[in-house]
A and B are shown apart, each in its own frame.
Chain A
């Protein structure tokens, strides 16, 4: 009898705890700190050092977990964050695959999430999902606008033989149609390949005026080196995945003249003073580079920082509707995020609506070119 009473008391106490509002706001971040995505994860995590300890007068606790670049691990971490930590919102996940895995969970539990990787979804079906990273089509639009202005009509495509290669090809098809260009060839190679000679020979045999590359990181240098070695004189256009010092290091002289697109924060010091993003990005990067060194500039820290800015903007509004830790608070937080209007981040300007849970526009894409061994913003 006593045991049963005790059990009942414990159950009541447990229910009481889980329903009780928290004295602090809990934000859960799932980042790829280890595994193959670690190089990016380091950037995402670095920004957390500069997050405020208090928003709207309420203390904030940041819970950071590693998904080891594995969506399954990320899914488990998200479950724990929802059921044990009772978080109010997700910052991230930072990996597209983990975003896809966590989104159904977050929407079911009514926890807003700010995906920090390009992640395509329907806001009508997943009202709690937001994303602060530029969609691929937005980035490629900037590249194609530049190509069109320079009279490019016939393009060749070379990309990875994986999902990224397919996604960039889809954006390439979309914008080449709009801008009246023809795709003469679609060539693929694998990230781990040791040679892209054959693909390059095929591309050059159809004589394109320019080549669009659906590649990323250092394996992107392989066709660039081969194309220049074979004497290709046309323009080489990449997406934001190739904009890193490592690409230039591996590509060497062949990388000169490659044009790509990137997040404003990466070239914050080269933006014109009229750019609204510049002061915000410069302030953040001043702190960031002071701590991590001048070589540490990367777009990923910017996505973390923008997620924080978006939440910092929405939390004071949501606090009026309910206490942190309650469903009322999370629902109000979602509504406030959706009403974000002209919020200037370091990766662009956010103007959200019920049909657009990303809210970025052309101001989130800056064209860059490799000049004298460094990425330079094209004015």
Chain B
């Protein structure tokens, strides 16, 4: 292996690692605030890619109708509750889906990549809060295991929905840029640079959000002590919805980014989500910097192993993780104790 090949592999690995990193962040946010291991996040990633792809081909995606349907139920529920919840409910689940649907109907025929991407993000992001509202909030106090089983079940529901909406074929998202440039002997595509830039922008955005805004501080407070946060008046339902919203936004963004590099099918999200989960585990499901290091490690390791022994890639990658997990569990006990 010469230096050129090594650098090319490194570039590929870091790009893939950046996607794993995004998913790991989403998983960490949701887990630390609600103790839910958000398995369906990978499926939302595939939804992101496929929603852009179908908007780009001039069709209205099935995910839009799914969103409208579930939002209508949420609207009815919050209207029945009455009071301040009703006003918020009408805004979130009445006005927003209506505007979004109108925008999609009017703008989809133009097939402008930037508009399709924004529409797709707007369609997929509300699914996180809706999943929280209907699936997890009613059983928010259940054990981590029960929540995990529920998350697995939701994964299968979303996969089924994906097959119905998008069919079994793969599709790709439009590239933000087709250009590439040469860095020495290395050809770097702008798309992989865009992935890294988006990733960096998101990380610094989240850093600001958690450090400087009241909502971000509420999330942090809930993450560090759930009962304490409730005692000082932080609304557990609202922080949960916010955490799920952030995770689904991140998943949709990751889907748009990775979809431009490689086509995805309706069921491809789970594998990517699994790698993100592995990275999150490396951070002990609490540490963001450790998860980031884990994500890049998994990505680069995958790339290098693919070069040397591609047939055994998954085996080698996952086997190398075992000592890491053993070390982590010996050092800090199980994540459930801290949750």
- A221 touches B (CB below 8 Å): yes
Cβ contact of A195, chosen from B170, B303, B305, cutoff 8 A: B303
State whether A187 and B16 are in contact (beta carbons under 8 Å apart), knowing that A198-B304, A201-B9 are contacts in the complex.
no
Hey, which chain A residues are within 8 Å of B9, CB to CB?
197-198, 201
Q: How far is the CA of A223 from the CA of B167 in the complex (A)?
A: 23
Q: Tell me, rounded to whole Å, the shortest Cβ–Cβ distance linking A208 to chain B.
A: 15
B262 close to A195 (CB less than 8 A): yes
B263 close to A202 (CB less than 8 A): no
B5 close to A201 (CB less than 8 A): yes
A198 close to B306 (CB less than 8 A): yes
B314 close to A195 (CB less than 8 A): no
- A189 touches B (CB below 8 Å): yes
Query: Which residues of chain B (159-195) have a CB below 8 Å from chain A?
Result: 163, 167-172
Query: Which residues of chain A (182-206) have a CB below 8 Å from chain B?
Result: 186-190, 192-199, 201-202, 205
B169 close to A202 (CB less than 8 A): no
Q: How far is the CA of A218 from the CA of B267 in the complex (A)?
A: 13
Report which B residues bind A (CB closer than 8 A): 1, 5, 8-9, 12, 15-16, 19, 163, 167-172, 258, 261-265, 267-268, 271-272, 302-308, 310-311, 313-314
Q: How far is the CA of A240 from the CA of B170 in the complex (A)?
A: 18
Hey, which chain A residues are within 8 Å of B172, CB to CB?
250
Number of contact residues on A: which range applies?
A: 20 to 34
B310 close to A188 (CB less than 8 A): yes
State whether A194 and B16 are in contact (beta carbons under 8 Å apart), knowing that A189-B310, A202-B310, A218-B265 are contacts in the complex.
yes
Complex interface bits, A162-198 against B, C-beta within 8 A gives 1, otherwise 0: 0000000000000000000000001111101111111
Cβ contact of B307, chosen from A38, A190, A201, cutoff 8 A: A201
Nearest A-chain residue to B264, judged by Cβ: A194
A38 close to B263 (CB less than 8 A): no
Q: Tell me, rounded to whole Å, the shortest Cβ–Cβ distance linking B324 to chain A.
A: 22
Hey, which chain B residues are within 8 Å of A188, CB to CB?
310-311, 313
Q: How far is the CA of A364 from the CA of B268 in the complex (A)?
A: 34
Hey, which chain A residues are within 8 Å of B263, CB to CB?
218-219, 221-222, 250
- A161 touches B (CB below 8 Å): yes
State whether A197 and B310 are in contact (beta carbons under 8 Å apart), knowing that A205-B5, A218-B263 are contacts in the complex.
no
Known: A195-B306, A197-B12, A202-B306. 20 other contacts (CB 8 A): A38-B163, A38-B168, A161-B310, A161-B311, A187-B310, A188-B310, A194-B258, A195-B15, A195-B16, A197-B8, A198-B9, A198-B305, A199-B306, A199-B310, A202-B307, A218-B170, A218-B265, A219-B170, A246-B170, A250-B172
Hey, which chain B residues are within 8 Å of A193, CB to CB?
262
Q: Tell me, rounded to whole Å, the shortest Cβ–Cβ distance linking B188 to chain A.
A: 12
Q: How far is the CA of A38 from the CA of B271 in the complex (A)?
A: 21
Nearest A-chain residue to B268, judged by Cβ: A192
Report which A residues bind B (CB closer than 8 A): 36-39, 161, 186-190, 192-199, 201-202, 205, 217-219, 221-222, 246, 250
Hey, which chain A residues are within 8 Å of B271, CB to CB?
190, 192
Q: Tell me, rounded to whole Å, the shortest Cβ–Cβ distance linking A293 to chain B.
A: 16
B307 close to A194 (CB less than 8 A): no
Hey, which chain A residues are within 8 Å of B8, CB to CB?
197, 201
Q: How far is the CA of A205 from the CA of B267 in the complex (A)?
A: 33
B19 close to A197 (CB less than 8 A): no
Hey, which chain B residues are within 8 Å of A217, CB to CB?
169-170
B12 close to A195 (CB less than 8 A): yes
**Selected A-B contacts with CB under 8 Å, 18 pairs:** A36-B163, A36-B267, A39-B169, A188-B313, A190-B271, A192-B267, A192-B272, A194-B19, A194-B272, A195-B15, A195-B16, A195-B261, A195-B262, A197-B8, A198-B310, A201-B5, A205-B1, A218-B263
Q: How far is the CA of A189 from the CA of B314 in the complex (A)?
A: 10
Hey, which chain A residues are within 8 Å of B305, CB to CB?
198
Hey, which chain B residues are within 8 Å of A198, CB to CB?
9, 12, 302-307, 310
Q: Tell me, rounded to whole Å, the shortest Cβ–Cβ distance linking A160 to chain B.
A: 10
Nearest B-chain residue to A246, judged by Cβ: B169
Q: How far is the CA of A217 from the CA of B9 in the complex (A)?
A: 26
Nearest B-chain residue to A165, judged by Cβ: B311
State whether A39 and B167 are in contact (beta carbons under 8 Å apart), knowing that A194-B19, A194-B261, A197-B9 are contacts in the complex.
yes
Candidate in B5, B302, B307 with the most chain A CB atoms within 10 angstroms: B307
Q: How far is the CA of A217 from the CA of B268 in the complex (A)?
A: 14
B311 close to A186 (CB less than 8 A): yes
Nearest B-chain residue to A36, judged by Cβ: B168
Hey, which chain A residues are within 8 Å of B265, CB to CB?
192, 218-219
Q: Tell me, rounded to whole Å, the shortest Cβ–Cβ distance linking B49 to chain A.
A: 10
